[in-house]
Amino acid sequence: MSDATFFQRKHQLWLRIAFASFATTNLQIKNRLYEFSVIEFRHLKWVAETLVESNVPYDYERDKELSIESETLFGLLTILIKEIEEMQSLYDHSQLSQRLLHDEHYILQTLQETLADDSIDEKLTAFNRSRQWGDTSLSSQELDALTLFLFEESYKEYELIMIYFYSQMSASTPLQYGSFQDLIDESHFHLRSFGEMMAKMGILSLPRMLHPRTYKITDMEKFLYDGITEEENAKEECRRLSALITDKKLSTFFEFINFQESYHIEIMKKLLKEIHG
């Protein structure tokens, strides 16, 4: 279990379950799947800590053909079941392995029980490229701006989760560890929000893979300064979209995200202050 290949499989499983939760419109299944994705991300953290302790390098490589697209909910759940079943043989007899294994036994049982009820299945619209926002008539300019924003920001939030995650594993102070955890949690919320919006528009897709240069930070001070600039740019984009889009609920949501980005800047300023002594 203690190698980078296992980490890669866990990383992919977390992504699959999280994006499956974004894809379905069944609220009960959506929330359950997202809870399972939270468990899988916690697993990923424990595995990374084990690798770091053993001085085993790991990265964010993924299968090039990795996809979450399916025409039906049951088709999506079947993919998840197959992936989890394939992982069962990779666990050893360590305490960590046994914890991960038993968690996934329960996840597997829940998914299989869901498949037993044909009335739950649904035709998925998360991947149909409809680019519609419910019953709201957004202009073509609004739709284009929203589409571009969602693709860029969903990638950015995934990128930030993985960068903060990697930095947290090498954190040298309690402030660093706690701050990166706060930023990870915030980015999880943003990724879920943007992912569900993409699903509503029929444009849901996995974010592209990260290059190691993106997350293997060698100059933390520069990274934080660049992060503040990136957050400022994100705030500006939220303000621009809020002003452009006539749908009141959407505008209010982007204002909400804008204020959250403001506090991310404050967290990074605290980290810079610690660096500067």
pLDDT at 101: 95
pTM, rounded to two decimals:
0.94
Please name every residue paired with 133 in a beta bridge, in sequence order, or none if there are none.
136
Q: Please tell me the distance from the alpha carbon of residue 250 to that of residue 145, in angstroms, as a whole number.
A: 12
Query: Looking at residue 73, what is its pLDDT?
Result: 97
Give the orientation angle of helix 4-23 with respect to helix 73-87, to 10 degrees: 160
Q: What is the DSSP letter of 250?
A: H
C-alpha 89/C-alpha 82 separation (Å) is 12
Q: At what angle do helices 174-200 and 140-169 cross, to 10 degrees?
A: 150
User: Given CA atoms 164, 15, 190, 28 in this order, what sign does their dihedral have?
Assistant: negative
For the chain of 277 residues, list the mean pLDDT of each consecutive stretch of 10.
84 97 97 98 96 94 91 97 92 93 97 96 96 84 92 95 96 94 96 97 95 92 92 87 86 89 93 91
Nearest to 171 by CA among 45, 27, 257: 45
What confidence score (pLDDT) does residue 74 get? Answer: 98
- The predicted pLDDT at position 226 comes to 93
